[in-house]
Amino acid sequence: MANTRVVAPSMVEQTCAILRERIRTGELPPGTRLRQEVLAEELGISRTPLREAMRLLAADGLVELEPNRGAVVTALSRESQVQFWTARLALEPAAARLGATTGERSALTAMAEAIAAQRSGDADGGFAANRAFHLALVRSAGNPHLDRFAESVWVQTVGTVIYAAQTTDAAQAAAYADAHEAILDAITAGDAELAERLTREHILASPVPD
CA distance 161 to 163: 6
- Are 117 and 129 in contact by the 8 Å Cβ rule? The answer is yes
Domain containing residue 171: 78-204
User: Does any domain span residue 5?
Assistant: no
Total domains, the chain: 2
Greater confidence, 10 or 4? 10
Q: 86 with 146, same domain?
A: yes
Q: 112 with 63, same domain?
A: no
Q: 33 with 96, same domain?
A: no
- What pLDDT score does 202 carry? 94
Confidence of residue 2 (pLDDT cuts 50, 70, 90): low
At 22, which CATH number? 1.10.10.10
Convert the pLDDT of each residue in 103-142 to its tens digit: 789 999 999 999 999 888 765 567 788 889 999 999 999 9
CA distance 207 to 162: 9
Confidence of residue 182 (pLDDT cuts 50, 70, 90): very high
pLDDT score of 9 more than 90: no
User: Does any domain span residue 3?
Assistant: no
User: Does any domain span residue 102?
Assistant: yes
Convert the pLDDT of each residue in 63-98 to its tens digit: 888 877 789 988 767 787 788 889 999 999 999 999
- What pLDDT score does 156 carry? 58
- What pLDDT score does 184 carry? 98
Domain boundary among 73, 101, 122: 73
What is the model's pTM? 0.71
Q: 151 with 90, same domain?
A: yes
